[in-house]
Amino acid sequence: MKIIRWVFRFIWKLTLWFFGLSIGLVILYRFVPIPITPLMVIRLFEQATDSKREMRLYKDWEPISSISRHVPQAVVAAEDQKFPDHNGFDFEAMEKAWEGNKKGKRIKGASTITQQTVKNAFLWPSRSYIRKGLEAYFTVLVELIWGKERIMEVYLNIIEMGDGIYGIEAAAQHYYKIPAAKVNRSQAALIAAVLPNPLQWNPKRPTSYIKGRQAWILRQMNNLEPVGYGK
């Protein structure tokens, strides 16, 4: 009985620590830039163990007010057109993805910008049920505590945009030699076009497929209401 009580006390304390630390971290990141993410650490390890890749980590945090308004418009058009309105989850897209998976198809678009932000900021790339459960938990917290503009700001500063390149400022400097504030519509759409696979696709060397995605994103940007974030 003593062992059982000890186990329950240990689990209870562990649970309290988890909730306290996770909520505290989300509150902290509501106000301060995120210095590094689990994905950045993983990529550095991959670079260190691959002789064909150089170790590099380019990132430069910029407030949303210093980022071109075309960039959030482009990523919403490309990744999550319901972002301004949903509560962190796109249940319709999730249902389509579930049905597609049962039929052996891979359906894109079930993961919202909020979920992608959470995955990059707090978690690790994986398809496990544990990771997905934690993602759902952090998504609820982030939507409640951060709000949409902060979510977009964090997303645009930590998202992987190339090998060792994270965030729109680093991407704009690396690909176009300009600050994020001066990215135009075409450049924003091209960067957004490579987000699904930034290690394989390059905005400076777009394939015909990427150019087609860019054209589609530009049309969607015209059709959507302005998201209202950015310079």
- Tell me: do 116 and 106 sit in the same domain: yes
HSE-CB at 24 with a 13 A cutoff on CA atoms is 6
pLDDT at 69: 97
Same-domain check for residues 69 and 22: no
How many Å apart are CA 198 and CA 24, to the nearest integer? 31
Q: How far is residue 179's CA from residue 68's CA, in Å, rounded to a whole number?
A: 9
Is residue 121 within 8 Å of 134, Cβ to Cβ?
Answer: no
Residues 119, 51 within the same domain = yes
Our count of domains for the chain comes to: 2
Q: Do 20 and 86 belong to one domain? A: no
In a shared domain, residues 23 and 50: no
DSSP state of 225: P
Same domain, 26 and 68: no
Residue 112 and residue 180 in one domain: yes
Give the span between the Cα atoms of 182 and 169, in whole angstroms: 10
Residue 54 confidence (pLDDT): 84
Single pTM value for the model? 0.91
Distance between CA atoms of residues 44 and 53, nearest Å? 10
- The answer to whether residues 85 and 18 belong to one domain is no
- Do 185 and 85 sit in the same domain of this protein? yes
Per-residue CA distances from 86 to 75, 115, 204 (Å): 16, 12, 33
Q: Do 84 and 48 reside in the same domain of the chain?
A: yes
Alpha carbon distance 142, 114 (integer Å): 8
What domain range includes position 11?
1-32
Q: How far is CA 145 from CA 18, 58, 173, 179, in A?
A: 17, 28, 31, 29
DSSP-assigned letter for residue 147: -
Token code pair at residue 134: 């934690």
Whether residues 101 and 175 share a domain: the answer is yes
- The encoded tokens of residue 98 equal 């579930």
- Residue 42, both tokens: 């993983």
Dihedral (C-alpha) 91, 96, 98, 101: value to the nearest 10 degrees? Answer: -160
Per residue of the chain (231 residues), what is the pLDDT tens digit?
Answer: 778 787 788 889 888 998 999 999 999 999 999 999 999 999 999 999 988 888 899 999 999 999 999 999 999 999 999 999 999 988 787 677 666 565 555 555 579 999 999 999 999 888 888 999 999 999 999 999 999 999 999 999 999 999 999 999 999 999 999 999 999 999 999 999 999 999 999 999 999 999 999 999 999 999 999 998 888
Domain for residue 231, yes or no? no
pLDDT of residue 97: 63
Q: Same domain, yes or no, for 143 and 158?
A: yes
Residue 124 lies in a domain: yes
